[in-house]
Amino acid sequence: MDNNPEISTIAQLRQNIDGINAQILELLSQRAKTVIQIGQQQTLSSMSHYDPVREEEMLTALEKQNQANNGPFPISTIKKLFKEIFKASMDLEDSQDQKHLLVSRKVKAEDTVIQIGDLKIGGGNAPFLIAGPCAIESEEQMDSTAEFLKDFGVKIYRGGAYKPRTSPYGFQGMGVDGLIIGSGAAKANGMAFITEVMDTRDVEIISEYADILQVGTRNMHNFALLREVGRQSKPVLLKRGFAATMEEWFYAAEYILAEGNPNVILCERGIRTFEKKTRNTLDLSSVAIAKLETHLPVVVDVTHAAGRRDILVQLAKAAFAVGADGVHIEVHPNPKVALSDNEQQLDFAGFRAFHDAVKPYLAAKDVVVK
């Protein structure tokens, strides 16, 4: 024991401090629990968690109390400390929200399986291909490609009737005529038809013809469109925005689920980076993370990721190896004269070689391919 009186006073005061720390922690925990309750109510009534007026009121009340109590801390210090507490509380509310996202595996542990005809997508079912021309250009082009692809067991036929083009003077698609041609060719060959929707005003007509609606990379942040496709009944393939984080992509899917449509397929199609040898950089870690954090099926679009034909097999194999449920690829009878994406679409011989190379991956899930 120390007989020095100063030392024993310090020890006593330190004990007091320990007790006060424990009380502060207890109060902070109580505060956090109350904050979570408020956050849940705000989420239920679609209110923002951040309320600057309320924050200002709390700071003013603290300032008054500090003055009345002659508190030793200057008000600037008190405000700084409480602003830290407010920020930690906001972060807590936001993280609680994320835990409750409909897309999250924490909310739904089992994989979402989407049935289209006799094809089951996701949930460990055999991987599949989505294939077809970039744009619908003519009946002949769509019929011949569909007839060719069906012999390879392709069950989902793609073709754009409304094309998002960088230049307003580029070919913009055939519109409703394209929908008629594309859906007819798919149906005649026993395939489902997927096509892109770019405008809320077209959702109704496109969902009459398409079996799956595609939201393209440029529209991943189009929240009105996401809500609209969430209100109709067809499955939606949601491409990742070319400059979107994974979190933003998952939130975009959440918009669709929150409107009542549970059938969303995520599609990674490459993101924009400094790299110029590919059109986009295929981010395969997003496939692994989407499979871990969400319960939705995931498809990889190798065509738009690469922007070139010579690495499509490698990218598709990598996509399947990392856990993709399907691969998306563009095929055109004569890519040289295609009205869009003629650098990267495969011709029939190219597709045959591609299919030969990836065939083992299409046989069954979890198959180990050397």
Site residues for ligand PEP per CB under 6 A: 134, 160, 164, 196, 216-217, 239, 269, 301, 304
Least distance CB 299 / Mn ion (angstroms) = 15
211 binds, among ligand PEP, Mn ion, none (CB under 5 to 8 A by kind): none
216 binds, among Mn ion, ligand PEP, none (CB under 5 to 8 A by kind): ligand PEP
**How many of the chain's residues bind Mn ion (CB under 5 A)?**
2
Residue 106, CB-side half-sphere exposure with 13 Å CA sphere:
8
Tokens 């899917």 correspond to: 253
For ligand PEP, the closer of residues 240 and 295 by Cβ is 240
269 binds, among Mn ion, ligand PEP, none (CB under 5 to 8 A by kind): ligand PEP
Strands (E), the chain: 114-116, 119-121, 128-132, 156-158, 192-196, 212-215, 236-239, 264-268, 298-301, 326-330
Compute the residue count for the chain. 370
Contacts 24+ apart (CB under 8 A), 84-90: 85/28, 85/31, 86/55, 86/58, 88/32, 89/31, 89/32, 89/35, 90/49, 90/50
In the chain the first and final C-alpha atoms are separated, in Å, by: 72
Least distance CB 220 / ligand PEP (angstroms) = 8
For ligand PEP, the closer of residues 93 and 332 by Cβ is 332
For ligand PEP, the closer of residues 216 and 230 by Cβ is 216
Least distance CB 118 / ligand PEP (angstroms) = 24
Residue 213: closest CA among 302, 327, 116, 315: 116
Least distance CB 320 / ligand PEP (angstroms) = 19
For ligand PEP, the closer of residues 124 and 170 by Cβ is 170
- 8 A C-beta contact, residue 306 and residue 278: yes
Q: How many CB atoms lie within 10 A of CB 136?
A: 29
346 near Mn ion, rule: CB under 5 A: no
Which residues in the 19-58 window bind Mn ion by CB under 5 A? none
How far does Cα 32 stand from its chain's mean position? 30
| φ, ψ (nearest 5 deg) of residue 158 | -105, 165
For Mn ion, the closer of residues 137 and 341 by Cβ is 341
For ligand PEP, the closer of residues 39 and 133 by Cβ is 133
Going from the C-alpha of 293 to that of each of 99, 217, 247, 251, 298, the distances in angstroms are 10, 21, 10, 12, 12
Taking CB under 5 A as the criterion, the residue among 202, 249, 341, 350 binding Mn ion is 341
198 near Mn ion, rule: CB under 5 A: no
- 8 A C-beta contact, residue 282 and residue 250: no
Residue 334: closest CA among 349, 318, 319, 322: 349
> With CB under 5 A as the contact rule, which of the stretches 32-40, 47-55, 99-107, 340-348 interacts with Mn ion?
340-348
Whose CB is nearest to ligand PEP? 216
For Mn ion, the closer of residues 254 and 341 by Cβ is 341
> With CB under 5 A as the contact rule, which of the stretches 109-117, 195-203, 221-229, 336-344 interacts with Mn ion?
336-344
Least distance CB 179 / Mn ion (angstroms) = 17
Least distance CB 195 / Mn ion (angstroms) = 12
Least distance CB 330 / Mn ion (angstroms) = 5
> With CB under 5 A as the contact rule, which of the stretches 117-125, 128-136, 281-289, 320-328 interacts with Mn ion?
128-136
Token pair in block for residue 279 = 């059109």
360 binds, among Mn ion, ligand PEP, none (CB under 5 to 8 A by kind): none
Least distance CB 339 / ligand PEP (angstroms) = 12
Going from the C-alpha of 112 to that of each of 109, 124, 169, 255, the distances in angstroms are 9, 10, 40, 16
134 near Mn ion, rule: CB under 5 A: yes
Q: Which amino acid is at 38?
A: I
Q: Is 240 exposed, middle or buried (0-12, 13-18, 19+ CB in 10 A)?
A: buried
Residues that bind Mn ion (CB under 5 A): 134, 341
